[in-house]
Amino acid sequence: MISTKKMKALEINSEALGVPTLLLMENAGRSVRDEIIKRFNPEGLKVKVFVGHGGKGGDGLVAARHLAGDGADVEVFLLGENKHRDAILNLNAIEEMDYSIKVTEIKDVFQLSPVEGDVLIDAMLGTGFSGKPREPFATAIKVFNNSKGFKVSIDVPSGIDSDSGEAPSEYVNPDLIVTFHDMKLGLRNFVEKTAIKKIGIPKEAEIYVGPGDVVVNIRKRDFKAKKGDNGRVLVIGGSYTFSGAPTLSALASLRTGADLVYVASPEETARIIAGFSPNLITIKLKGRNISPESLEELKPWISRADVVVVGPGMGMEPETVEASKLIVNYLKSTNKPAVIDADALKANAGIGLYPNAVITPHIGEFKIFFGEQVKESIKERVKQVVEASRKCNCVVLMKGYIDIISNGTEFRLNKTGNPGLAVGGTGDTLTGIVATFMAQKIDPFTAAYIGVFVNSLAGSLAYRKLGEHIVATDIVKHIPEVLNNPVEAFRNKVYKRIING
C-alpha cells in the first residue's frame, strides 16, 4: 500500500525523470475508461462525470474524452474552477468536443439534482482531501449517491481520506474504484471493489531519490516558530590537527535550516572554528584532543541537542579512539539520534548500533566498519548494504559514485553527484545536512536519503558553474538553492550516470 505523500513524491520524481504528469493523467483516465468498457458496451452508453478540482478532476476529463470517442453519450458536470495545470489542458480539449460531450457548469448547488445514467464517474475529491467536504461537494456527493447508474470512483471515493480511510461526513459509495499505481492506505475496506492500474510511473522514481522526496518531506517554517523549533544540532569533532571537518558539518547544518548548531572541539581548535563564522556556537573541551574526560563535559550539550554528529576531524589518537567509543556508547544508551561518521566509524568498527543512528561510510570506511570488501556490481552492493544495515541495526548511507541508503528493509539510491565531489570535506557537509533533517523530526532513513540527495545536488549545481574545481564550501553555498526549489535544481544538474548490473 502507498501513502498520499509517497504517491505525490513519485509523481514529481517521474516528471523529473522525463515522464510528465500530463502523461500520467492520460494513462490514469484511459485506465478508467478501460475498466468501464470491460463491463459495458460503450456504444450509446450514458455516462455522467462529476468533475472536481485537481488531478482527479483531470483524470475524469480524460476518461470522458475517451468514452465519447468510443461512442458513449457523455455529460460532464463541472463543480467549480480547476486550476491544476494538466487538468486545464484536458478541460480545453473537452470544451472543444461540443458535438460529442455535453458540459454543464455548476455555479450553484441548487443546480444539482439526481441524474440517471448507465455509468456515473466520481472525479470530485482526490487524494489531497481530508476532513469534511465543503460545498458544492457536500451536496454533489449526496446527489451522486442518489443518482441511478453503475458508480465508479477514480483513485479514492470522494469524501474518504486516502490515508486513514476515515469519512467524517458524506462520501461516495461506489460499485467500482479504479486506483493508480498501488493500493491507497485508505482503501483497506474497499479491496474487493478496487482495481489497481499502472499509469507509467517508472520503477526508478521509487528507487532513485528525487526532488519529489524533498518536496513532500521538508516542511516550511511555521509563522509562529521560535528559536529551536527547527532543530538543535551538536557536532562533536575536531582535534589539534583538524579543524575544517567539524566546521563544514556545522555550516552545512545551518544552511540546511537548523536553528542552533554547537561545535564541541578541543579548546584551541574550538577557537579556530569560532573564527570561521559568528553563526557557530563553539564548546571548548579541555585538552589538545577529545579524550575520555570530555564525555562529562559533553553530556549536558548532548541532552540539549536534538541530534548529535560525532566523528568529523576527531583524529585517531589513542585517547580520542577511547573517547569515541565512550561517546557512541553513551548516545546508544540514551537512544539519542545521531550521525556517526569518519574517525568515529573507524574507532567503533564492528559494533552494533541502534535504529536512531545513521552511519555514512565511504567504500574504505565500510570495509573497516563491517570487515568486508565492497562489491563491484551496484545490485550486489545494494544487497550488501541492506544486510549491513540489518546487521548493525542502524541506517547505512554508503557513499560512492552511486550512493546506497538502507534501513535494513528498504533501500534508496542516489545518482545526483559528480566527480568534483571527490574532494575533502564533502562527506562532512553531508553529515551536517542529514543531522539537520533528523533534528527536524524526519525519520533517520528518510533524512539520510534526502540528505545525500541535497548534498550531491548542491555539488552538482556548483559543478555546473565551476567544473572540476569545486570545494566543500561551494556545496554549503548551494544548499539553499536546492531546498528552495528542488525541482528546478534537479532540472539544472549537469551530470548523468547510467548503471548496469
One domain, residues 172 and 289? no
At which residue does the C-alpha cell 554549503 appear? Answer: 476
Q: Is pLDDT of 498 > 60?
A: no
Supply the mean pLDDT for the chain: 94
**DSSP string for residues in 245-305:** HHHHHHHHHHHHT-SEEEEEEEHHHHHHHHTT-TTPEEEEESSSS--TTHHHHHHHHHHH-
Q: Is pLDDT of 442 > 80?
A: yes
One domain, residues 251 and 130? no
Q: How confident is the model at residue 187 (pLDDT cuts 50, 70, 90)?
A: very high
% of the chain with per-residue pLDDT over 70: 98
Mean pLDDT across the stretch 175-184? Answer: 97
pLDDT digits (tens, 9 = 90+) for 49-100: 999 988 999 999 999 999 999 999 999 999 988 888 999 999 999 999 999 9
At which residue does the C-alpha cell 548490473 appear? Answer: 501
* Annotated binding-site ranges: 122, 126-132, 155, 158, 245, 313, 362, 427-428
pLDDT digits (tens, 9 = 90+) for 404-437: 999 999 999 999 988 888 888 999 999 999 999 9
One domain, residues 257 and 197? no
One domain, residues 258 and 139? no
CATH (domain of 28): 3.40.50.10260
Q: With left for phi above 0 and alpha for psi between -120 and 50, is residue 218 left, alpha or beta? A: beta
pLDDT digits (tens, 9 = 90+) for 448-461: 999 999 999 999 99
Q: What pLDDT is attached to residue 324?
A: 97
One domain, residues 385 and 266? yes
Mean pLDDT across the stretch 200-227? Answer: 91
Among 411, 393, 394, 410, CA closest to 402: 411
One domain, residues 54 and 196? yes
Burial of 384 (0-12, 13-18, 19+ CB in 10 A): buried
Q: Would 78 be classed as within a structural domain?
A: yes
As a whole number of angstroms, the distance between CA 76 and CA 50 comes to 6
One domain, residues 178 and 286? no
Instruction: Estimate the share of the chain in helix, then strand, then coil, as percent rounded to the nearest 5.
Output: 45, 15, 40
Beta pairing, strands 281-285 & 307-310: unpaired
Q: How confident is the model at residue 500 (pLDDT cuts 50, 70, 90)?
A: low
Q: Is pLDDT of 499 > 90?
A: no
Q: Which residue has the higher pLDDT, 85 or 497?
A: 85
Query: Who's near 226: CB < 8 A, 6+ residues apart?
Result: none
One domain, residues 259 and 390? yes
Mean pLDDT across the stretch 387-406? Answer: 96
For the chain, what is the domain count?
2
CATH (domain of 430): 3.40.1190.20
Among 37, 39, 25, 91, CA closest to 69: 37
Is the preceding peptide bond at 211 cis, omega within 30 degrees of 0?
A: no
One domain, residues 332 and 442? yes
Q: Is pLDDT of 128 > 90?
A: no
Q: Would 225 be classed as within a structural domain?
A: no
One domain, residues 59 and 133? yes
% of the chain with per-residue pLDDT over 90: 88
Q: What pLDDT is attached to residue 495?
A: 62
Q: How many CB atoms lie within 10 A of CB 23?
A: 15
* Annotated binding-site ranges for K(+): 122, 158
Amino acid at 233: V
As a whole number of angstroms, the distance between CA 303 and CA 300 comes to 5
Q: Is pLDDT of 358 > 70?
A: yes
One domain, residues 344 and 460? yes
Q: Would 499 be classed as within a structural domain?
A: no
Query: Who's near 35: CB < 8 A, 6+ residues apart?
Result: 152, 176, 178, 195, 197
Residue 232, phi then psi, degrees to nearest 5: -115, 125
Q: Is pLDDT of 447 > 60?
A: yes
pLDDT digits (tens, 9 = 90+) for 12-56: 999 999 999 999 999 999 999 999 999 999 999 999 999 998 899
Please state the pTM of the whole predicted model. Answer: 0.93
SS3 string of 296-324? HHHHHHHHHCCEEEECCCCCCCHHHHHHH
**DSSP string for residues in 364-386:** HHHHHHHSSPPPSSHHHHHHHHH
Mean pLDDT across the stretch 269-297? Answer: 95
Q: Would 194 be classed as within a structural domain?
A: yes
SS3 string of 153-201? EECCCCCCCCCCCCCCCCCCCCCEEEEECCCEHHHHHHHHHEEEECCCC
Do 74 and 49 contact (CB within 8 A), yes or no? yes
* Annotated binding-site ranges for (6S)-NADPHX: 126-132, 155, 245, 313, 362, 428
Q: How confident is the model at residue 130 (pLDDT cuts 50, 70, 90)?
A: confident
Q: What pLDDT is attached to residue 185?
A: 95
Mean pLDDT across the stretch 171-193? Answer: 96
Mean pLDDT across the stretch 222-251? Answer: 91
Domain that holds residue 63: 4-207
At which residue does the C-alpha cell 509517497 appear? Answer: 6
Q: Would 150 be classed as within a structural domain?
A: yes
Q: Would 473 be classed as within a structural domain?
A: yes
Q: Would 191 be classed as within a structural domain?
A: yes
Mean pLDDT across the stretch 128-142? Answer: 92
Half-sphere exposure (CA, 13 Å, Cβ side) for 361? 28
Among 492, 479, 478, 398, CA closest to 433: 479
pLDDT digits (tens, 9 = 90+) for 345-355: 999 999 999 99
Given 172, 207, 242, which residue is the final one in a domain?
A: 207
Q: How confident is the model at residue 392 (pLDDT cuts 50, 70, 90)?
A: very high
Q: Would 111 be classed as within a structural domain?
A: yes
Mean pLDDT across the stretch 336-343? Answer: 96
Q: What pLDDT is attached to residue 294?
A: 97
Among 455, 441, 446, 347, CA closest to 395: 446
Mean pLDDT across the stretch 301-316? Answer: 97
One domain, residues 237 and 201? no
Q: With left for phi above 0 and alpha for psi between -120 and 50, is residue 393 left, alpha or beta? A: left
Query: Who's near 254: CB < 8 A, 6+ residues apart?
Result: 261, 277, 279, 280, 432
As a whole number of angstroms, the distance between CA 471 and CA 425 comes to 8
Q: How confident is the model at residue 497 (pLDDT cuts 50, 70, 90)?
A: low
Sheet strands side by side (includes 101-105): 101-105, 73-78, 46-51, 116-123, 148-154, 176-180, 194-197
Mean pLDDT across the stretch 304-322? Answer: 97
Q: Is pLDDT of 106 > 90?
A: yes
